[in-house]
């Protein structure tokens, strides 16, 4: 329960912070809509020239866009702003105060900064997924939808774990403030099914920087392309990676020696 209280407190503080820049919020939402327009236009251009992309239809790509936006929202609403704050706190030593709190430091580092206006993207993403699923010709069954949701969550946990490991490396290499660029750079690969990429790129986005695990794979579950064993594997991988990430985080914390004090 304490966790929820803390979350709502963080949320409140961040809402207040963004209320100071109301006009910026409006501009940001307009720009966000502009990019949505561009994304739909680019899908339109692709499907004016072909009927399927790697066997996927327009509806499925719209649903994929929705999942992509979901993952992207997690990145922009939590991961980027908190990375910035974290890197800063390692450099100037204000990490001290985070560690002193009687709550898991990993929790604090994940949630203390929230880009609140991005939450509206969750609505957009949901609409895109629902519309996309309805547009695709094949009928989807309830278990498929459930595995889709499950795998979207496991995918995000895997990416989150990778993020924790990447920023924890900063404890050892203080000047490692490019720690998340690689994650940021490959993000765009989530807009299209990884199955159309050449093998080397598919390997990178599946196994090394697993963007596809949170975007393409859940959609494949929705299309009923995954076996029960594969689904179990992804689930197990997410549990293991979360466990490994929290271990690395703790090891990193022991390494931390402060900066100024």
Partner 1 sequence: MFLIFKRLWQVNWAEQWQYRANLLMYLFYWLVSPIIYLAVWTSIANVKGSVNGFTANDFITYYMVLLICDQMTSNIVIHTFAYKIQDGTLSGELIKPIHPLLTNGLVNNIAFKVLTIMGLLPIWIILFFLFKPNFSGVAITGVLLSIPIMVVAFFIGYLLSAAITSLAFWTTRVYSIHEFYFALILLFSGQFVPLPLMPKLIQDIAQYLPFQLFLYFPIQLILGKLSTDQIILGYVMAGVWLVIAIVTFNWVWRQGVKQYSAVGA
Binding site for partner 1 (CB under 8 A): 23-24, 27-28, 31, 34-35, 38, 41-42, 44-46, 48-50, 52-54, 178, 181-182, 184-186, 188-189, 191-192, 196-198, 200-201
- Nearer to partner 1 by Cβ, of 38 and 119: the residue is 38
CA-nearest of 154, 185, 181, 187 to 166 is: 181
Closest approach of Cβ 71 to partner 1, in Å? 15
3-state secondary structure of 256: coil
The CA distance from 28 to 47, in Å, is 29
Closest approach of Cβ 236 to partner 1, in Å? 29
The CA distance from 205 to 203, in Å, is 6
- Nearer to partner 1 by Cβ, of 45 and 142: the residue is 45
- Nearer to partner 1 by Cβ, of 106 and 204: the residue is 204
- Nearer to partner 1 by Cβ, of 80 and 111: the residue is 80
Closest approach of Cβ 94 to partner 1, in Å? 23
Query: Which tokens sit at 165?
Result: 């490991």
- Nearer to partner 1 by Cβ, of 79 and 106: the residue is 79
- Number of Cβ within a 10 Å radius of residue 123: 9
Alpha helices by DSSP H, the chain: 2-19, 22-49, 58-74, 80-92, 95-100, 105-111, 120-135, 142-172, 181-186, 199-203, 211-222, 228-255
- Nearer to partner 1 by Cβ, of 1 and 23: the residue is 23
Closest approach of Cβ 235 to partner 1, in Å? 28
**Do 149 and 211 contact (CB within 8 A), yes or no?**
no
Query: Which tokens sit at 91?
Result: 């450099």
The CA distance from 196 to 150, in Å, is 24
Query: Which tokens sit at 155?
Result: 């995918």
Closest approach of Cβ 22 to partner 1, in Å? 12
The CA distance from 119 to 57, in Å, is 28
Closest approach of Cβ 240 to partner 1, in Å? 28
- Nearer to partner 1 by Cβ, of 201 and 231: the residue is 201
Closest approach of Cβ 55 to partner 1, in Å? 9
- Nearer to partner 1 by Cβ, of 20 and 23: the residue is 23
**Do 43 and 195 contact (CB within 8 A), yes or no?**
no
Closest approach of Cβ 195 to partner 1, in Å? 9
Query: Which tokens sit at 7?
Result: 């979350």
């Amino acid at each position: 329960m304490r966790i929820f209280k803390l979350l709502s407190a963080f949320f409140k503080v961040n809402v207040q912070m963004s209320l100071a820049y109301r006009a910026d919020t409006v501009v940001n939402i307009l720009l966000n809509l502009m990019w949505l327009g561009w994304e739909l236009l680019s899908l339109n251009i692709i499907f004016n020239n072909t009927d399927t992309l790697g066997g996927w239809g327009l509806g499925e790509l719209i649903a994929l866009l929705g999942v992509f936006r979901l993952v992207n929202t997690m990145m922009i609403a939590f991961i980027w702003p908190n990375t910035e704050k974290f890197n800063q706190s390692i450099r100037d030593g204000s990490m001290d105060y985070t560690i002193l709190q009687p709550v898991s430091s990993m929790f604090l580092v994940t949630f203390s900064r929230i880009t609140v206006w991005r939450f509206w993207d969750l609505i957009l993403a949901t609409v895109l997924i629902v519309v996309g699923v309805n547009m695709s010709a094949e009928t989807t069954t309830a278990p498929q939808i459930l595995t889709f949701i499950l795998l979207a969550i496991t995918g995000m946990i895997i990416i989150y774990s990778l993020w924790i490991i990447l920023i924890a490396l900063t404890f050892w290499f203080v000047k490692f403030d490019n720690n998340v660029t690689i994650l940021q750079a490959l993000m765009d690969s989530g807009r299209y099914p990884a199955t159309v990429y050449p093998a080397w790129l598919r390997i990178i986005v599946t196994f090394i920087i697993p963007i596809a695990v949170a975007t393409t794979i859940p959609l494949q579950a929705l299309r009923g392309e995954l076996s029960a064993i594969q689904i179990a594997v992804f689930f197990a991988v997410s549990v293991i990676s979360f466990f490994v990430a929290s271990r690395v985080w703790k090891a990193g914390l022991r390494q931390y020696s402060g900066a100024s004090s």
